[in-house]
Amino acid sequence: MKISKSIKEIQTLFIKNKINTKQTRSNLYLLRTLQIIEKVKTLYPSNNLRILDLGCGYGYNTRILSCLFPESKITGVDYGNDCKKAWDLIQKKGLKIKFINSDARKLPFNNNSFDIVISWGLLEHIGEEKINKITYKEKQLEEEKCVREVHRVLKPNGYFMLNYLPNKFSYIEFITNHFETYSHPKKFTKKEIYSLLKKNDFQLIDISRVHFLPSIYYVMGNVIGNIFNKYSKLINFLDKLLLYLPISFLAQDFEIVVKKENYLRKK
């Protein structure tokens, strides 16, 4: 997949302003973002969409979405104040992006507001602010609140795309946890995420294990990061081949696409 000049300019903007550089410097992460957005295009050939980037963080992927869907109205939502500098930087460009500080469990939108809701690592963080005080069952209830809110704000037959949802059996999560570097407190099994979405009236379209090789390789230092960046397309190709093997069970993440059913059961 070719990275266009306009997309590279977005990457350069974030790197130049030192915004989340371990992620934004990674060409492999960028390639994966573009592949996810290509899936959006297969769902919606139209460019005139209302898109919600839920858990948008610093707005890197939000900005890329706006570049590839220039006629669409895009809203980024995240909870916390550390993203404001990056949001202000993006909005100075006069783009059709609106950023809102809000909890994903209580969204400030009307029913049936968006054609598609997309997340790039969200559910595993829901309830994380009280992770040491919350039981596993309580965590599930917090996740359900988020999923039900997504259902509410989606238009009839709208899509919810979940990306970078950590796999419980990921070898990378095992390694990072063993060496006491960052590991997601909550990880999912295929059965668990399917059950959560089906219970809350979403129809499963696709669920895949993805990302056998890590993309945030700059955590290993600039030398290794620059080498991996140079060969990012080859690494991306190798990564796809590895996912055809039985070891894909140990892949890092899940990618899920579900469709809103046009009713919501009373709980």
DSSP state string for the chain: -PPPHHHHHHHHHHHHTTSSHHHHT-HHHHHHHHHHHHHHHHH---S--EEEEET-TTSHHHHHHHHH-TTSEEEEEESSSTTHHHHHHHHTT--SEEEEE--TTS-SS-TT-EEEEEEES-GGGTTGGGGGG--HHHHHHHHHHHHHHHHHHEEEEEEEEEEEEEBTT-HHHHHHHHTTS---S--B-HHHHHHHHHHTTEEEEEEEEE-SS-S-GGGG-HHHHHHHHHTHHHHHHHHHHHTTSGGGGG-SEEEEEEEE-S-----
Phi-psi region of 158 (alpha: psi -120 to 50; beta: other; left: phi over 0): beta
Task: Report the C-alpha gap between 185 and 232 in whole angstroms.
Answer: 28
Give the pLDDT of residue 176: 85
Give the pLDDT of residue 182: 67
Task: Report the C-alpha gap between 240 and 81 in whole angstroms.
Answer: 36
Residue 150 CA, distance from chain mean position: 14
CB < 8 Å & 24+ apart, contacts of 234-240: 235/28, 236/1, 236/28, 236/31, 236/32, 238/213, 239/211, 239/212, 239/213
**Contact present, 166 and 192 (Cβ < 8 Å):** no
DSSP state string for 23-34: HHT-HHHHHHHH
Q: What is the pLDDT along the chain (267 residues), one digit of tens a residue?
A: 778 999 999 999 999 999 999 999 999 999 999 999 999 999 988 888 999 999 999 999 999 999 999 999 999 999 878 899 999 999 887 777 999 999 999 999 999 999 999 999 899 988 877 656 678 788 889 999 999 999 999 999 999 999 999 999 999 999 887 766 667 878 999 999 999 999 999 999 999 999 999 999 998 899 999 999 999 999 999 999 999 999 999 999 999 999 998 755 555
Give the pLDDT of residue 132: 63
Angle between helices 27-43 and 222-230 (to 10 degrees): 50
Give the pLDDT of residue 62: 97
pTM: 0.92
Domain ranges of the chain: 5-260
Give the pLDDT of residue 183: 72
The CATH H-level superfamily of 5-260 is: Vaccinia Virus protein VP39 (3.40.50.150)
